[in-house]
């Protein structure tokens, strides 16, 4: 398990935090297949799940941003789009060439470490905004 939940990563929003935990679990599941010598099918299954769950999570988080009129929504959405494109690219590298140390290390840094940084620089601000709006209503 590469990414172990750390309270510094909490945004304080229950749904966002729960989905972030699932995302880290999905990243770990893929990275673990590498160390466990899992079959190509199993690796693809975990990568597919990571891709699907990334799409679902970003969609749900963007719905919340719209609902609470988060002012930085358009920029935040573009950041999500870029990450989704990168996960798709990583998946197609896997489909064409199979796994490699370079691929797993890209998933670790470009998806896992990326998510840690994104939570701290962006999602914690989203959650603070939602809290401030909830207090008003």
Which spans of this chain sit near Fe ion (rule: CB under 5 A)? 123
Q: Is the CB of 38 or the CB of 55 nearer to Fe ion?
A: 55
Complex with Fe ion: residue 17 or 123, whichever CB lies closer: 123
- State in angstroms the smallest separation of the CB of 135 from Fe ion: 22
Q: Measured at CB, which residue is nearest to Fe ion?
A: 123
Q: Which residue pairs, CB below 8 angstroms and at least 24 apart, start in 113-122?
A: 114/83, 115/20, 115/23, 115/24, 115/27, 116/3, 116/9, 118/79, 118/83, 119/9, 119/11, 119/20, 120/8, 120/9, 122/76, 122/79
Q: Cβ 68 to Fe ion, closest distance in Å? A: 13
CB of 79 to Fe ion, least distance (A): 7
């Amino acid at each position: 398990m590469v990414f172990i939940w750390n309270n510094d990563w909490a945004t304080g929003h229950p749904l966002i935090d729960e989905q972030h935990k699932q995302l880290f679990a999905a990243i770990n599941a893929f990275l673990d297949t590498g160390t466990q010598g899992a079959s190509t099918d199993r690796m693809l299954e975990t990568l597919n799940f990571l891709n699907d769950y990334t799409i679902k999570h970003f969609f749900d988080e963007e719905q919340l941003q719209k609902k609470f009129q988060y002012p930085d929504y358009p920029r935040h959405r573009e950041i999500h789009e870029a990450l989704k494109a990168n996960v798709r690219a990583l998946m197609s590298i896997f489909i064409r060439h199979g796994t490699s140390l370079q691929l797993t290390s890209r998933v670790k840094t470009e998806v896992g470490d990326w998510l840690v940084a994104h939570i701290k620089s962006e999602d914690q601000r989203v959650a603070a905004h939602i809290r401030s709006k909830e207090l008003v209503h």
